[in-house]
């Protein structure tokens, strides 16, 4: 990271928004009494992801919501398959609680557009680790909590005014539990308004990034 601050490198470096913010969002269908929360977790070296994920799932279920595990890694053979980790988390939950009626694992493979449409139609929230699943959920109109494993997660959500919905997955578990409670027990209409404002800002950042890149390219 220190190398990124070298003067010669800074002259050749341009920080832009995440290109996924330029994807087309979808209008959510009007559904009633949808209590489903989409979740996603990923392995991260030798950390205690499964144990922490279990605590997150327990909190969501305790607040009366259904949970669906889903992955952005849609069938890419060279990439991690999150569904394998999801199965292990569900097994941990079953060993501890027995009943897994509130948990489902989605192993389907979607295109980006179909994934966003699916999230929009069948869920109400997203809580999880992967940044691009958070962005996909925002594009689907869902309020999100992004518990990141790298600073980029917090940085991107901060850039679109949603820093209060981002935290370190490996930080105090009490912080995550409090954020989950505030999200799921809060005013849903207000949360969706915040999503709309964030998407507008994200689109502006996306367009500004390409305008800036085009100007920089003209210098070569």
CATH of the domain at 199: 3.40.50.2000
Residues 6+ apart with CB under 8 A from 72: 40, 82, 115, 130, 132, 133, 136
Domain of residue 77 covers 35-217
Query: Tokens 């009366």, residue?
Result: 64
The HSE-up count of residue 101 (CA atoms within 13 Å, CB side) is: 3
Q: What is the DSSP letter of 23?
A: S
pTM of the model: 0.86
Any residues with CB less than 8 A from the CB of 76 and at least 6 apart, and which? none
Cβ pair 120, 25 in contact under 8 A? no
Question: What was the pLDDT predicted at 32?
Answer: 47
Nearest to 41 by CA among 133, 124, 121: 133
The domain total for the chain is 1
Mark the ranges of the chain whose per-residue pLDDT is less than 50.
Answer: 1, 32
- Please report whether residue 18 resides in a domain: no
DSSP letter for 4, please: G
Judge whether 137 lies within some domain. yes
Q: Is 107 domain-assigned?
A: yes
In a domain, 91, yes or no: yes
**pLDDT the model gives residue 24:** 76
| Pair 41, 89: CB distance under 8 Å | yes
Please report, for residues 32, 109, 218, the alpha-carbon distance to residue 16 in angstroms, rounded to integers and kept in the order given.
Answer: 38, 29, 17
Q: Give per-residue burial for 11-40: e unless 16+ CB within 10 Å, then b.
A: eeeeeebbebbebebeebeeeeebebbbbb
User: Do the Cβ atoms of 173 and 52 come closer than 8 Å?
Assistant: yes
Whole-number pLDDT of residue 16? 58
Residue 14 lies in a domain: no
Residue 22 lies in a domain: no
Q: Give per-residue pLDDT as tens, 148-204.
A: 999 888 989 999 999 999 999 999 999 999 999 999 999 999 999 999 999 999 888
Residue 3 resides in a domain: no
Q: Scanning the structure block, which residue is given the tokens 């109109």? A: 141
Residue 1's pLDDT is 46
Whether 187 maps to a domain, the answer reads yes
**Residue 76: what pLDDT?**
62
């Amino acid at each position: 990271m220190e190398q990124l601050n070298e003067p010669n490198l800074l002259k050749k470096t341009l920080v832009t928004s995440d290109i996924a913010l330029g994807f087309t969002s979808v209008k959510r269908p009007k559904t009633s009494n949808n209590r489903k929360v989409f979740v996603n977790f990923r392995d991260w070296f030798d950390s205690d992801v499964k144990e922490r994920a279990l605590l997150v799932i327990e909190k969501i279920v305790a607040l009366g919501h259904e949970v669906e595990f889903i992955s952005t890694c849609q069938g890419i053979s060279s990439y991690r398959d999150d569904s394998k980790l999801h199965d292990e988390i569900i097994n941990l939950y079953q060993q501890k609680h027995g009943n897994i009626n509130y948990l489902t694992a989605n192993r389907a493979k979607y295109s980006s557009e179909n994934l966003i449409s699916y999230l929009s139609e069948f869920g109400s929230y997203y809580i999880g680790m992967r940044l691009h699943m958070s962005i996909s959920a925002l594009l689907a109109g869902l309020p999100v909590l992004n518990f990141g494993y790298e600073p980029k997660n917090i940085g991107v959500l901060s850039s679109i005014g949603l820093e209060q919905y981002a935290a370190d997955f490996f930080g105090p578990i009490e912080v995550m539990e409090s954020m989950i409670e505030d999200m799921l027990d809060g005013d849903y209409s207000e949360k969706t308004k915040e999503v709309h404002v964030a998407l507008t800002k994200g689109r502006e950042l996306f367009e500004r990034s390409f305008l800036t890149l085009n100007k920089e390219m003209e210098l070569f």
